């Protein structure tokens, strides 16, 4: 576990076998319009794993996406072998179709015209390979394109939302009416059972018979299987090429590359931070708290972050101004199937959201960290957004920080995690036991499959 791996640590990934109550469905030809790797983030990851689940169940899936055009700061760093998953070749039940770039200022005022291009590409794909059902995942622009495609093809449509589209974009005066029309024209609207989200959907005109509530599924298989170690030095050496594509400040990139040249001390505790960085994610709070510990404590700080150019420049510039530059290693984001390998490098993982602007934001990072046996340091707000909320107990199976902006509280908790090895290992062990129990009795099959079958039975839009 971590850079200083515990003998026999691979045993921690074994979980009980869960019985699924799913009944086999007719084999479907699914056209999925949505985010996909190399886009970083939870929606892209969930779309990818859903496509994999559908293929595993025997369905044919065509993915139409603009993933190849994602901004550099949100682009995953892929190995050569990763591209076979993102763009499968040969006879495959999963086929990924990427949009073709549109030259800047080819029309004025300029826009990427993603909605129109996704629709045009989907029409080409559906003309070459007939589909039984269309799934649009994330409303803008994917759900809108999916519903328009369904109307043109007289094909059943389902749409799936995330937290930001239903909780943030839907309040925009120009998008609200478009979303309302979209939702009224599709057969199935996939959602969680969150009362606030359901109320928002009703306010947008969604009728209860159209709603399908997604259940929790077990985390993807790589979180429970042994994996080859991630070569931290090879990945760290690729930070420069990734940062150049993200157009980060040259001085910042040079500073990070200099920090990455050193080898982390495998005898020290490794504290990990991954995902998007933002002040509301507690990223700056963590840096400030760890800086307080540098005069008298030694540890490794491992970062795998994504974000806008401005945010990453500011975060890494602030990091380089501290003594943490002597302890840190910064990695580019990796594909979702490699996240467990990153977590295996960490002894401690921090999830510190506070005053996050999207009310319905779900957090899977808590479950991911526990599934790989990491000691979890988590904000109170983040616990409320995790499905494990009622089971996370401060000092027992995690360390809960009431407010990460209280740097003294955060620093004191981190000090205990670093110094008190027996406590850290006990908390890590109980957190992993909680994960084994929780994940072991969740269904493996994806709820989206049932919703798509329902959409087909309902018929075309």
CA distance 149 to 241: 38
CA distance 77 to 341: 14
Lowest mean pLDDT among 5-14, 176-185, 304-313: 5-14
Residue 21 has pLDDT above 50, yes or no: no
- CB-based contact 197:167 (threshold 8 Å): yes
Residue 359 has pLDDT above 50, yes or no: yes
Lowest mean pLDDT among 76-80, 376-380, 446-450: 446-450
DSSP 8-state code for residue 324: G
**The predicted structure's pLDDT at residue 351:** 97
Among candidate residues 368, 307, 377, the one with its CA nearest the CA of residue 342: 368
Lowest mean pLDDT among 196-200, 235-239, 412-416: 196-200
Higher pLDDT, 128 or 314: 314
CA distances (Å), 378 to each of 320, 350, 427, 430, in order?
24, 6, 13, 15
Among candidate residues 147, 193, 202, the one with its CA nearest the CA of residue 170: 202
CATH number of the domain located at residue range(s) 225-440 in this protein: 3.40.50.2000
For 292, half-sphere exposure in the C-beta direction (CA atoms, 13 angstrom radius) is: 15
Determine the topology of domain 28-217+443-458 in CATH: Rossmann fold (3.40.50)
Which whole number is the average pLDDT over 157-186?
Answer: 94
Residue 24 has pLDDT above 70, yes or no: no
Among candidate residues 339, 348, 260, 239, the one with its CA nearest the CA of residue 299: 348
**The predicted structure's pLDDT at residue 7:** 30
Residue 417 has pLDDT above 80, yes or no: yes
Determine the Cα angle at 36 with ends 144 and 448, to 5°.
Answer: 70
Mean residue pLDDT across the chain: 91
CA distance 85 to 284: 34
The two three-digit tokens of residue 134, written as one number: 């269309």
Among candidate residues 221, 28, 36, the one with its CA nearest the CA of residue 132: 28
CA distance 416 to 367: 22
Assign 5 a pLDDT band (cuts: 50, 70, 90).
Answer: very low
Query: Do 225-440 and 28-217+443-458 have the same topology in CATH?
Result: yes
Which whole number is the average pLDDT over 111-121?
Answer: 97
Assign 91 a pLDDT band (cuts: 50, 70, 90).
Answer: low
Pairing of strands 133-137, 29-33: parallel
Lowest mean pLDDT among 181-185, 245-249, 360-364, 444-448: 360-364
Lowest mean pLDDT among 1-5, 125-129, 234-238: 1-5
**CB contact set of 85 (below 8 Å; sequence gap of 6+):** 37, 48, 335, 337
The two three-digit tokens of residue 6, written as one number: 């515990």
- CB-based contact 48:81 (threshold 8 Å): no
**The predicted structure's pLDDT at residue 461:** 55
Residue 384 has pLDDT above 50, yes or no: yes
Residue 13 has pLDDT above 50, yes or no: no
- CB-based contact 189:201 (threshold 8 Å): yes
Residue 8 has pLDDT above 50, yes or no: no
Whether residue 175 is preceded by a cis peptide bond, meaning omega within 30 degrees of 0, is no
**The predicted structure's pLDDT at residue 1:** 60
Residue 270 has pLDDT above 90, yes or no: yes
* DSSP count for the chain of H helices, then E strands: 18, 13
Assign 264 a pLDDT band (cuts: 50, 70, 90).
Answer: very high
CA distance 87 to 83: 6
Among candidate residues 261, 42, 4, 243, the one with its CA nearest the CA of residue 137: 42
Give per-residue pLDDT as tens, 122-167. 999 999 889 999 999 999 999 999 999 999 999 999 999 998 899 8
- CB-based contact 118:33 (threshold 8 Å): yes
**The predicted structure's pLDDT at residue 334:** 97
DSSP-derived secondary structure for 30-83: EEEES--TTB-SHHHHHHHHHHHHHHHTT-EEEEEE-GGG--GGGB----GGGH
Total count of residues recorded for the chain: 461
Residue 346 has pLDDT above 90, yes or no: yes
**The predicted structure's pLDDT at residue 361:** 57
- Rounded to two decimals, the pTM is 0.92
Residue 362 has pLDDT above 50, yes or no: yes
**Cα distance from N-terminal residue to C-terminal residue, the chain:** 51
Beta strands across the sheet bearing 211-213:
94-98, 60-65, 29-33, 133-137, 157-160, 188-191, 211-213
Torsion of CA 21, 26, 30, 35, to 10 degrees: 10
Which whole number is the average pLDDT over 7-36?
Answer: 58
Residue 414 has pLDDT above 90, yes or no: yes
Q: Where are the domains of the chain?
A: 28-217+443-458, 225-440
Higher pLDDT, 399 or 90: 399
Among candidate residues 334, 259, 337, the one with its CA nearest the CA of residue 301: 259
**The predicted structure's pLDDT at residue 311:** 97
Is residue 211 classed as helix, strand or coil in its secondary structure?
Answer: strand
DSSP 8-state code for residue 398: B
């Amino acid at each position: 576990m971590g850079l200083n791996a515990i003998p026999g640590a691979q045993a921690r990934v074994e979980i009980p076998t869960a019985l699924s109550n799913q009944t086999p469905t007719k084999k479907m030809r699914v056209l999925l319009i949505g985010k996909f790797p190399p886009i970083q983030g939870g929606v892209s990851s969930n779309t990818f794993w859903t496509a994999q689940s559908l293929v595993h169940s025997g369905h044919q899936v065509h993915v139409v996406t603009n993933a190849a055009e994602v901004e550099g700061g949100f682009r995953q760093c892929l190995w050569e072998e990763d591209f076979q998953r993102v763009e499968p070749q040969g006879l495959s039940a999963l086929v990924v179709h990427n949009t073709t770039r549109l030259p800047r200022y080819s029309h004025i005022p300029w826009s990427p015209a993603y909605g129109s291009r996704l629709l045009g590409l989907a029409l080409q794909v559906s003309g070459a390979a007939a589909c039984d059902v269309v799934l649009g995942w994330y409303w803008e622009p994917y759900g809108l394109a999916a519903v328009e495609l369904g109307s043109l093809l007289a094909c059943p449509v389902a749409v799936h939302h995330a937290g930001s589209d239903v909780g943030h974009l839907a309040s925009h005066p120009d998008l609200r009416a478009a979303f309302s029309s979209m939702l009224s024209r599709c057969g199935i609207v996939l959602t969680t059972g969150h009362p606030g989200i359901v109320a928002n959907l009703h306010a947008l005109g969604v009728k209860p018979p159209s709603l399908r509530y997604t259940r929790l599924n077990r985390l993807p298989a790589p979180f429970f299987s042994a994996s080859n170690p991630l070569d931290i030095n090879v990945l760290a050496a690729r930070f420069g090429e990734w940062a150049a594509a993200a157009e980060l400040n040259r001085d910042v990139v040079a500073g990070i590359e200099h920090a990455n040249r050193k080898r982390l001390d495998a005898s020290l505790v490794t504290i990990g931070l991954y995902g998007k960085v933002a002040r509301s994610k507690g990223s700056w709070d963590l840096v400030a708290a760890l800086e307080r510990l540098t005069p008298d404590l030694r540890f490794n700080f491992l970062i795998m972050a994504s974000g806008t150019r401005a945010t990453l420049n500011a975060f890494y510039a602030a990091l380089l101004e501290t003594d943490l530059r002597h302890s840190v290693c910064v990695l580019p984001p990796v594909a979702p199937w490699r996240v467990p390998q990153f977590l295996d490098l960490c002894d401690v993982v921090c999830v510190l959201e506070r005053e996050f602007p999207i009310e319905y934001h779900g957090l899977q990072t808590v479950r991911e960290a526990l599934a790989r046996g990491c000691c979890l340091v988590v904000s109170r707000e983040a616990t409320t957004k995790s499905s494990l909320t009622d089971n996370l107990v401060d000092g027992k199976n995690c360390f809960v920080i009431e407010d990460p902006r209280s740097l003294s509280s955060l620093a004191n908790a981190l000090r205990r995690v670093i110094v008190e090895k027996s406590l850290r290992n006990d908390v890590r062990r109980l957190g992993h036991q909680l994960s084994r129990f929780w994940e072991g009795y969740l269904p493996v099959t994806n709820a989206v499959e049932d919703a798509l079958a329902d959409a087909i039975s309902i018929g075309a839009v």
